[in-house]
Amino acid sequence: MAKQRTELGSRKSVRVDLYTTGFVIPAPEAPWIECTIVDVSENGVCLDVGDLAVPKLFGLAFTSSGEVLRVCALIWRRGERIGARFVSAKELRQGLVPSDAVPPPPKDVVLV
Per-residue burial over 41-67, b = 16 or more CB atoms within 10 Å of its CB, e = otherwise? beebbbbebeeeebbebbbbbbeeebe
- What DSSP designation does 30 have? P
For position 10, what pLDDT does the model report?
64
**SS3 call for 90:** helix
49 part of a folded domain = yes
Residue 63 has pLDDT above 90, yes or no: yes
Query: Do the Cβ atoms of 104 and 64 come closer than 8 Å?
Result: no
Whole-model pTM: value is 0.77
Identify which has the larger pLDDT, 11 or 60: 60
The rounded distance, in Å, linking the Cα atoms of 60 and 75 is 14
For position 13, what pLDDT does the model report?
84
Number of structural domains in the chain? 1
For position 98, what pLDDT does the model report?
55
11 part of a folded domain = no
CATH classification of the domain holding 33: 2.40.10
Note down the domain range covering 34. 23-97
Dihedral sign, CA of 85, 71, 34, 74?
A: negative
Predicted confidence (pLDDT) per residue in 3-53, tens digit: 555 555 666 789 999 999 999 999 989 999 999 999 999 999 999 999 999
